[in-house]
Chain A
């Protein structure tokens, strides 16, 4: 079997930042903060985080912070909880949490919790279990989980559980592997995994593996490398990874590499992007692929980073 083209992927990730001459890349600038998280975490997992200029990244990152405490996807863009987590995760990678006012970021997130325990993404009120995960993950990294009503937050997440064992965006929303990751991740961080029906959920999740070895995110969909992360991390958290074939999944991810120019795509022979490159590498990390640092399935950060957050104080 072919191997992971680590060097190529590193240079691909570093090159993405410099490409600003075509419409397709410029039009993604509103989510640059998430792009930074995907790219930098992938670099760290591949052991190459030192190839970026920390000062440059942090000063740009700080210029994306809004006076409310939240972060925008890029300079001048409105703040949103999505980019706030990405910013905090990037700072965690660099061990640079001291550059932000933690209480300010905390207040922003706390202000987004609703009466029923759910979280809005920003002041405009869209509710989604993704935002519950983000709030919980972010506050946990900042050691401020006690500032929200965790009990209500957990209750809301459980109200989004379906009869198939999966979770949706809001109560009654269709089960989706990405949403499942968020809900299971939030429950894992809050120590509430006992409230998940692991057998039922594990069954649904392992049925995501298709003949080619890849995983899809919903029934009848094509496999996609990003679900190597969403499905696999969820299975890991509920201890049911052995219900899928790990070997076949490794092969699927490896087959999605562009071995010439670097990067990983959603499916073999498609165009690569930094999003799928990160999730491919993260999937391989959970599959204990040699040469890739281990990743934490709930925080989506390298295990050594998570350890540093919680065990050095």
Chain B
């Protein structure tokens, strides 16, 4: 045999090994590409740990597991232990080429088989179709493990799973996507695949609520390792549309401590904004809320969020995401609870109260400005950033406040020379400031 065909046989064998591992260990939850030089080290470590665990497992398992484990560890291309899989970077290219070729050919056959059965109206021998399907599921999985955004492989799985309509198969897709996300947390296709699964099962799944909860937890787990991951958080925002008001409140409570530990992660604050907006939406259909037995007090929720945000701003100096969150909260406050003067309800007792609240609110914001805006030239970068953010925030408020209320704000900030202050703290944005001040 020529050298080329030799290496082809070898690559086919590697692929078979990889697919056997993926099939035998359905619980693999972490994956990595490992440099060949790291294998001896891994072996050494696992020898130590397996000799430690041997005593424990020996009696119950009769040593069988251990012998399987040790044969696995002789492999110099794959590493599989404790549901972790490592693939040697040395074999990535031949493996990828082989699996891609095998997948593309099988998928083509499968489509032809599919077309024929459509035309004739009868299916080809069910066994041949089934065989192609299981081969495709094996190959596409290996392919996605190597190339996470190989869209056609994800699509092929969608096609097969949607034909079968078995809940367990849909759940397996969530697991595969999770495995891919473990090493490629930004994989757009892996996130898309999850949404496809969730849409597909949303109508006929008894534990759908539980699945939603798990999805939300998965995003949090991934966000911990992969900071400001847009795709991950976008997925979590997308889940909100499926949530009950009860779940929304629960998520709002849960995400608060995470946000407080990740104050630079705008994504999490955006997630909270999405939840707050959903609460406000929910408020308009009061019946819903009452029937849930929840006391959804959006005014209180906003006040709490404003207070909490102020605490964070003072504790973590110079964080843009915190100030942007404050812009949103103030905006909600103004839009929802400050009656505009043309409104009939303006004269109601409640409205007057809220109007009075607005004065207090403005007073508070100016206090915040004062406490954040003092810096001298040699202060730390964070302190300067804090001053710039606070000044921008007040200007932003001035621009956003509806006309009838602007005078009140104007009076209050008169003693602050906002323009000088803005240009001093953030000279590079002077053209923006000039536009809005004049």
> A220 within 8 Å of B by Cβ?
yes
Q: Which of B24-58 contact A (CB under 8 A)?
A: none
A48 → B minimal CB distance (Å): 30
Question: A124 and B234 in contact (CB under 8 A), knowing A203-B432, A218-B228?
Answer: no
- B96: which A residues are within 8 A, CB to CB? 23, 26-27
Residue of B nearest to A206 (CB): B432
Residue of A nearest to B270 (CB): A174
> B319 within 8 Å of A by Cβ?
yes
A70 → B minimal CB distance (Å): 12
- B319: which A residues are within 8 A, CB to CB? 220
Pick 16 A–B contacts, CB within 8 A, sort by A.
Answer: A23-B96, A76-B108, A76-B152, A77-B152, A78-B152, A124-B155, A126-B196, A163-B332, A164-B327, A168-B237, A173-B237, A173-B238, A206-B429, A207-B392, A220-B264, A220-B320
Question: A199 and B237 in contact (CB under 8 A), knowing A172-B277, A176-B230?
Answer: no
> B106 within 8 Å of A by Cβ?
no
- B324: which A residues are within 8 A, CB to CB? 164, 219
A288 to B146, CA, bound (A): 42
Whether A172 pairs with B274 at a CB distance below 8 angstroms is: yes
Whether A26 pairs with B97 at a CB distance below 8 angstroms is: yes
Q: How many A-B residue pairs have CB under 8 A?
A: 104
Question: A168 and B152 in contact (CB under 8 A), knowing A27-B147, A163-B328, A245-B428?
Answer: no
- B92: which A residues are within 8 A, CB to CB? 23
A77 to B108, CA, bound (A): 11
A-B CB proximity, top 6 nearest:
A174-B270, A23-B92, A219-B266, A78-B152, A243-B432, A23-B93
A76 to B321, CA, bound (A): 44
A26 to B270, CA, bound (A): 36
- A214: which B residues are within 8 A, CB to CB? none
Which of A72, A124, A174, A211 lies in contact with B230, CB distance below 8 A? A174
Question: A203 and B396 in contact (CB under 8 A), knowing A163-B328, A218-B266?
Answer: yes
A interface vs B, CB < 8 Å? 22-23, 26-27, 30-31, 72-73, 76-78, 80, 122, 124-126, 163-164, 168-170, 172-176, 199, 202-203, 206-207, 209, 211, 218-221, 242-243, 245, 248
Which of B104, B277, B320, B435 lies in contact with A76, CB distance below 8 A? B104
Q: Which of B260-312 contact A (CB under 8 A)?
A: 264-267, 270, 273-274, 277-278
- B89: which A residues are within 8 A, CB to CB? 23
Whether B152 pairs with A72 at a CB distance below 8 angstroms is: yes
- A248: which B residues are within 8 A, CB to CB? 428
Which of B149, B196, B230 lies in contact with A125, CB distance below 8 A? B196
- A73: which B residues are within 8 A, CB to CB? 151
A244 → B minimal CB distance (Å): 8
A173 to B93, CA, bound (A): 37
> B252 within 8 Å of A by Cβ?
no
Residue of A nearest to B332 (CB): A163
> B233 within 8 Å of A by Cβ?
yes
B198-221 vs A: 1/0 string, CB under 8 Å? 010000000000000000000000
> B418 within 8 Å of A by Cβ?
no
Q: Which of B321-340 contact A (CB under 8 A)?
A: 321, 324, 327-328, 331-332
> B171 within 8 Å of A by Cβ?
no
> B247 within 8 Å of A by Cβ?
no
Whether A199 pairs with B399 at a CB distance below 8 angstroms is: yes
> B16 within 8 Å of A by Cβ?
no
Whether A168 pairs with B93 at a CB distance below 8 angstroms is: no
Question: A30 and B237 in contact (CB under 8 A), knowing A218-B230, A219-B324, A243-B432?
Answer: no
Which of B93, B150, B234, B327 lies in contact with A174, CB distance below 8 A? B234
- A78: which B residues are within 8 A, CB to CB? 151-152, 155
- A176: which B residues are within 8 A, CB to CB? 230
Whether B93 pairs with A26 at a CB distance below 8 angstroms is: yes
A231 → B minimal CB distance (Å): 14
- B435: which A residues are within 8 A, CB to CB? 199, 243
- B8: which A residues are within 8 A, CB to CB? none
- A174: which B residues are within 8 A, CB to CB? 230, 233-234, 237, 266-267, 270
> B398 within 8 Å of A by Cβ?
no
A108 → B minimal CB distance (Å): 16
- A209: which B residues are within 8 A, CB to CB? 428
Whether A163 pairs with B399 at a CB distance below 8 angstroms is: no
